[in-house]
Amino acid sequence: MTVFVVRRLGLLALSLLGASILTFALLRLLPGDAAASVGGITADKAQLRSIRHDLGLDRPLIAQYWTWLTEVPTGDLGHSQLNGSSVTGELGEKLRVTGPLVLGALVLALVFAVPLGMLAAVRRERRDGTAISVASQLGIALPTLWVGLLLILLFAVQTPLLPAQGFPVEGWADPGEASRSLVLPTLTLALSEGAVLLRFVRSATLDVLHRDYLRTARAAGRTRTGALLRHGLRNAAGPVLSMLGVQVAALLVGAIVVEKVFTLPGVGSMLVADVGNRDLVKVQGEVMLLVAIVLFVGFLVDIAQRLIDPRLADVRVREVTG
Amino acid sequence: MRRSALRIAAVLALAGPVLAACGSGGTPNPAADGANTQAPAPADSALDPNATARVRLVLEPTSLNLTTTAGVALEQVLLDNVYQGLLGVDTNADNKIVPALASGFETSPDGLTYTFHLTPGAAFHDGSPVTAEDAVWSLQQVLAPGSKQPNAKTLATIAGVAAPDPATVVITLRQRDTNLTWALTQRQGVIYKKGTDFAKLDTTENGTGPFRLDGWQRGSAITLVRNDAYKGAKAKVAKVVLSYIPDRNAANNAQATGQTDIETAAEATLLQPFTGNDRFTVLRGTTTDKYTLAINNAKAPLNNPAVRHAIRRAIDKDALIKSLGGAGVRLGGPIPTSDPGYQDLTTIDPHDAAAARKALADAGVGELKLTLKIPNIYPAAIGDVLVSNLKDAGIELTVKQQEFTAWLSEVYTARDYDLSLVNHAEPHDVGNFATPGYYFGYDNAEVRDWYAQAVAAPDERTRTDLLARIGRRVAEDAGADWLYQAQTLTVVRKGVSGAPQHHTSSRLNLAGIGITK
Amino acid sequence: MRARIAVIGVLRALSRDRNGLIGGTLVAILVGAVLLSLAWTPYDPTAVDPNSPWLLPFSDGHVLGTDMLGRDQFSLILVGSRETLVIALVSAGIAAALGVPLALAAALGPRRFAAGVVQLVDVAIAFPALLTAMILAAVFGGSVWTTASAIGVAFGVHLARIARAEIERVAGTDYVLAAAASGSSTGRTIRRHILPNIAPTLLVQLSLVMAVASLTEAALSYLGYGSPAPAVSWGRILHDQQPYISARPLLVVWPGLAVALTVLGFNLLGDALRDATDPRLRHGGSGAVAKADGERAVRAIRPPAAVAGALLEITDLTIRIAGRTVVDGVDLTLAPGERLGLIGESGSGKSLTALAVLGLLPEGAEATGSIRLDGAELLGRSERELARIRGDRVAMVFQEPLTALDPTMRVGRQIAEPLRLHRGMTRRRADEAAIELAARVGLPDPADLVRARPHQLSGGQRQRVGIAIALACRPALLIADEPTTALDVTVQRDILALLDEQAREQGTALLFITHDLAVVSSVSDRVAVLRGGRTVEQGPLETILHDPRAPYTRALLAAARATAFAPIEAPAEIPTDSVEAAS
């Protein structure tokens, strides 16, 4: 296991390096740069040149990449090219919005998708199972922004129960108010992701439903449901877990849209704004954070899968004894 | 009549949004909405001095450093409120130049020497008094070679700045410059304490205005607090939270549900929740926002004036303004209504699709395919209208929406475009048409000459005449097209007084805002 | 060729499937809208009309009304379908063009190279697609192509991951290995054998790509990176109308509905494709065959008085699956401690009879008649009541030891399970008891072995675990369903000996199901012969072996003597009516 974890960590580092090259290179394709943002429509060409020089934009790309790369491992993602603020610091601030949003949506999605997905599989020939299936299909099909706008209309404007937009300026100083402003966004995000997750759970459950070991467990005295919970869940968890990395990626991307719909100051809206302003050092940091989260979740999933299903760990044993 | 219609709408709203839409049929007439004056401010004793005013703004600045970073978003927040120059602007009086850190000034008869007298008691936020030495130092930083101040060139006529005594600043010019006083009201005229490290302005602030910068939650809000040591008219609220809500609908929801007290730049087509509702007042204000359709004068076949005129004639500006909710007035030339030299030029190139089509044919341009580059911060509807209008004249228009930065590099700097749409919000910017290198690609020797004369004009009347002449010539040359001069709508919650009404996107003096107890 | 046959089969299956029908219809509507829009729209969709803004539906011939620019919404939606379809198709095309070669490289390429590709795919999956789309739109100007490229690339790497697993599976199958061994070139193997076999999976994934593409287009347009005028897309209509959701919600409803229905169409089609190509689901049929247990029709016919002292008494047991009678009036009796061999060919209904005793019939099976255990009727009991009996009074050992155990759980825990369920033992005590049980069924190093997981055991060891689970609570009746069939011949003997020994020791009655007479003779006191769901003959072992009365039994015996070891295949020449006559 230790060897596996170490090897897997090595791969993780390699992946991050690859991602950093990809990110850096892709962003340099963008037309316009931070100097244009700073200079606006009033700076003349000489001024733009001087701004470019001050920002180090006239240095060779390799050198720019190297500077950035050598800073990243120290936890320093650089500074904004427009206002000099620390990227790490600002990301930390923004994560206080995006973190609870994405985690909340993930938890909510799991809480609803796992039991409902199993139910939809077990009772797929019955009306309730079909209803859940149809609902999940609709949940996937509805555009996120549409759902968000509708929720705002219903629960913030027509019936003013929750804030229509924004996040308290004081942040989490008033946890109640901060949580209230995240209710609708979390719901919006959880709905679409939960619907996708539900399909995964349903198909994974369908897969284990006819396995012999469930019959063995029932023969040993479990009820159908009992066997499914005790043995089916563990075995269906593998495939569902393996989708979790992708799901987290989808949630983070979904957060970009949801944060815009609800005008939330999170990593997603920060990313969109910084791409627009060509504050590329910040964009690099943000993208790397998102990529790192997804890759890290993938890493955790791999480890978790081995813990759940040790067959993955010692294939050799099977070859010998099988 | 209106009341009962509203009541019906309200009842239906309870039955669900879809029904509400069916019930409130018909065309709203937002052009009629909006008051030109707001209720007089109540006596100070009726106001809550500890109140917080929450104001919706659209465009968040990327930096708080007026000395390095261009953009109207910085000026909107910082000028008048946090930082001041020798002179200021009264946006409620057609951008009249008013005293600020200087209580007054005299001009020498040859127009080459300006003597400013500092306002007694003016002080920086750190408590130190504003001295003539600070003013001289600040202006010298702008004038210094390699200055990063984006607007530095507007002060290029200054030969020297001196401080004969601690309360007097003398500016001498190389030549007459009628633009000088205006330039001094802008960011390049801001007075900083001598020795201020400009590199640190993003994090430290030592201005002179009625507010101090309290905090900036990036992506969300900027907070200002009252400067209690301010010697002039003190701010009427203790704190102002400027919330950046770019989305029009979200901003409307925020105002309607009480998340904000003042909504600037409200969408004209979305005023229903506020009009005829005594909980809100809608203010209609003037701006110098000129939605300018740049036509690349340097590129064939657009270098042919006949083609440019045809394009102008193809566009139905009245319909466009109506479609956008009526929050604008027609503008036939480069000079907006509140600027010197304004005259009504809308009779040049009146809308006539058939005439436009014919003119194109006459010019030998049959099938014309053009691309419009438009920053994605502007309503897509403008592009849609232009596509439709130009199609009627036989021009196939493709719209390319791009980020403002991409626009800056492709259109503004590289001049790689056919048509481009940008809101030129700055007042007093007709000089762009006298700058051959400008991205319009417009170059007319006479216009250049007139502009130089106007800048050096001995009196206001000569200057205004020359500017008017420039305006007419540029319009007659079809140097560009002006779709409309925008009006700005501000929604104010009941109980809030003194909300800025005019020119809110470039300057937003917050000191007058009061909130009733 | 093979691919074409596969596709035709899939299409046929689709038309029978409800999801496929709805999905197909929705997609057909989309395609219809595209074709219609090319030929005709009620109004010029891009023409603004300042004099008729915000018309309600059905006014002035505007079916869906007009927007604030006076544009006809129906025409816009109609024309917008083009963008959606093109983006969907181009995205899918790019995804396939990128994903399949990547997957082939990762699955079949040289080891190091393949590892590199896998790594690349992992990184690319983590890279947010929306950002790629934004960058492309910023570089080239938003258009169908930038949107489709970004989506295509993002899902191409997804596809690569899924297709790789599929290719590895296919490449490991016998016929592909055989093709490779017989000197077929790699290119040819891919073309002839691999691509046709992964085609169904690809189709499913591509339909999902199309669904996601339609949604992403909406999101991109909303963020301001979609296709601008004069192109019309649903995402942009949605974006343009969304500010007016409070005042004019209908204008937001149309494009939202259009996107939602299209995505639904692609997704349902994908689901139906998956069902049509999934052999597991194809067999069961996704129609209305199965009924869950609560609805299982159970008609317990009261038989004449119970035989005194019988442990198990099956009377007139009839089982129907999907209207077909598979067990037809079986009668069986088992005294305490008695060992009954139930013999018959596959499909004779012997396994179903056994499963009926435990209430483990597959979904959709209906059982009628009577099954009495200790004189109490089992048919019609609830799952909960049956669960209380299973593993306690009656236990079962299954045929397939490789799949009968939970692969993720230590075997000790699985042996301990009935003890914890029926004896209420604590985990620790049950674990200790599991070690004893493991020792009793002859597992080596029981203390260590209980900590192993099934895949670490040999087939024989796993079957011993299965027996340990069954014997844990010392059941009165042990049903063994061909417990040795899947095992090596040498191991078979040990397992039989173990079962025999344990049943005798504990006085457990044994119902031993097999098709092998040799096996039956070693563990039975009595034998019942089943054929076609009916009891052909029943009697003491000696009588059946030496004086069989039914022709079927005779044929069975003859076949067994002819091939001492070979499993007995059904002697097909015996007509059913002669069986009837004999019984």
C123 belongs to a structural domain: yes
Element (H, E) at B221: strand B221-226
Q: Is the pLDDT of residue C578 over 50?
A: no
Neighbouring residues of C111: CB distance < 8 A, sequence distance ≥ 6: none
Architecture category of domain B2-203+488-515 in CATH: Alpha-Beta Complex (3.90)
A176 CB-near residues (< 8 Å, 6+ apart): none
Show which of A11, A45, A74 is a domain's final residue: A74
Per-chain mean pLDDT for chain C: 82
CB hemisphere CA count around A319 (13 angstroms): 5
Q: Between B93 and C278, where is the model more confident? A: B93
Contact A219, C391 (CB under 8 A): yes
Of B73-82, B471-480, C214-223, least confident by mean pLDDT is: C214-223
Domain count, chain A: 2
* Alpha carbons C48 and C37: distance in angstroms, whole number: 18
- Contact (CB<8Å) B247/A263: yes
CATH code of the domain covering residue A144: 1.10.3720.10
pLDDT of C154: 86
Domain encompassing residue C398? 312-582
Share of residues in chain C with pLDDT > 70 (%): 88
Boundary-marking domain end, from A41, A74, A107: A74
Domains in chain C, number: 2
Residue at C303 is within a domain: no
Q: What is the mean pLDDT of residues C380-402?
A: 89
| Whether residue A279 is found in the same domain as residue A218 | yes
Contact partners, residue B516, CB within 8 Å, separation at least 6: B42, B46, B47, B48, B495, B496, B497
Residues 327-356 of C with CB under 8 A from A: none
Is the same domain home to C249 and C366?
Answer: no
C369 shares its domain with C277: no
Other Cβ atoms closer than 10 A to C488 = 12
Average pLDDT, chain B: 90
φ, ψ (nearest 5 deg) of residue B225: -120, 155
Q: Are A39 and A127 contained in the same domain? A: no
* pLDDT digits 0-9 by tens, B6-26: 333 333 333 333 333 333 333
- Report pLDDT digits (tens) over B108-139: 999 999 999 999 999 999 999 999 999 999 99
> Which pairing describes strands B419-424 and B168-173: parallel, antiparallel, or unpaired?
unpaired
Residue A205, H or E segment: helix A175-209
Q: Contact at 8 Å (CB) between C220 and C142?
A: yes
CA distances for C498 relative to A225, B153, B313, C171, C467, angstroms: 32, 101, 101, 41, 9
SS3 of chain B: helix, strand, coil, percent, to 5: 30, 25, 45
Q: Is the pLDDT of residue C288 over 60?
A: no
Token reading at C88:
């969907």
Is there a domain that residue C199 lies in?
Answer: yes
Q: What is the CA radius of gyration of chain A?
A: 24
Query: Within this chain, do residues C210 and C320 fall inside the same structural domain, yes or no?
Result: no
Task: Output the domain CATH number for residue C363.
Answer: 3.40.50.300
Q: Are C155 and C228 in a shared domain? A: yes
Of the listed ranges A206-210, B195-199, C472-476, the least confidently predicted one is A206-210
Q: What is the pLDDT of residues B423-458, one digit of tens each?
A: 998 899 999 999 988 999 999 999 999 999 999 999
For residues C352 and C478, membership in a common domain is answered with yes
Q: What is the pLDDT of residue B194?
A: 96
Compute the average pLDDT of residues C107-119: 83
Co-location of A57 and A147 in the same domain: no
Give the residue from chain A lying closest to C250, CA to CA.
A150
A74, A109, A135 - which closes a domain:
A74
pLDDT of residue C304: 42
Q: Are strands B480-493 and B262-263 parallel, antiparallel or unpaired?
A: antiparallel
Backbone angles phi, psi at B281, to 5 degrees: -120, 140
d(CA A258, CA B187): 36
C287 in a domain, yes or no? no
Across the 322 residues of chain A, what is the mean pLDDT of every consecutive 10-residue run?
A: 85 88 90 88 85 90 90 84 90 94 95 92 84 90 92 91 92 93 96 90 86 89 88 85 83 92 94 91 91 90 81 46 31
| Closest to B407 in 3D by CA, of C88, C239, A18, C138 | C138
Is C301 within the bounds of a domain? no
As a whole number of angstroms, the distance between CA C513 and CA C509 comes to 13
- Indicate the pLDDT class of residue B264, thresholds 50, 70 and 90: very high
The per-residue pLDDT for C562 is 66
Query: A203 and A163, same structural domain?
Result: yes
Residue C469: closest CA among C417, C545, C522, C542:
C417
Q: Between the CA of residue A180 and those of A97, A161, A192, A231, C427, what are the distances in Å?
A: 12, 9, 20, 38, 44
Is residue A124 in some structural domain? yes
Residues of A whose CB is below 8 A from C290: 125
Note whether residue C296 is domain-resident: no
List the subunits that have 3+ CB pairs under 8 angstroms with B. A, C
Residues of A in contact with B218 (CB under 8 A): 85, 90, 93, 265, 270
Residues 98-137 of A with CB under 8 A from B: none
Are β-strands B158-165 and C509-514 bridged in parallel, bridged antiparallel, or unpaired? unpaired
CATH of B290-486, one of 3.40.50.150, 1.10.3720.10, 3.10.105.10, 1.20.120.1810: 3.10.105.10
Q: How large is the greatest C-alpha to C-alpha distance in chain C, in angstroms?
A: 103
Using the beta-carbon criterion (under 8 Å), do C230 and B323 form an inter-chain contact? no
Query: Which residue, C266, C282, C298, sits at the end of a domain?
Result: C282
Higher pLDDT, C309 or A80: A80
Question: Distance (Å) from the C-alpha of residue C413 to the closest C-alpha of chain B?
Answer: 54
Kind of pairing, strands B87-90 and B496-497? unpaired
pLDDT of residue C279: 53
pLDDT in tens, B372-426: 999 988 888 899 999 999 999 999 999 988 888 889 989 999 999 999 999 998 8
Angstrom distances, CA of residue B355 to CA of B315, B396, B484: 12, 17, 21
Domain span at residue A1 reads 1-74
Assess contact for B311 and B62: CB atoms under 8 A: no
Q: Which amino acid does the sequence have at C505? A: E
ipTM over 0.85: yes
Report the pLDDT value the prediction gives residue C278, as an integer from 0 to 100.
Answer: 61
Cis-peptide into B129, omega within 30 deg: no
Distance from the Cα of C61 to chain B's closest Cα (Å) equals 16
- Residue B242 contacts residue B53 (beta carbons within 8 Å): no
How is residue A157 annotated by DSSP?
Answer: I
Least confident of A47-61, C285-299, C323-337: C285-299
Question: Is residue C65, in this structure, part of any structural domain at all?
Answer: yes
Confidence of residue C295 (pLDDT cuts 50, 70, 90): very low
C307 is a domain residue:
no
Q: What is the mean pLDDT of residues C348-360?
A: 88
More confident residue, C564 or A148: A148
* Statement to judge: residues C277 and C367 lie in one domain: no
Question: Is the CB of A27 inside 8 Å of chain B's CB atoms?
Answer: no
C365 with C454, same domain: the answer is yes
Tokens of C194: 């691999």
Taking only residues 26 to 55 of chain C, the set having a beta carbon closer than 8 angstroms to any beta carbon of chain A reads: none
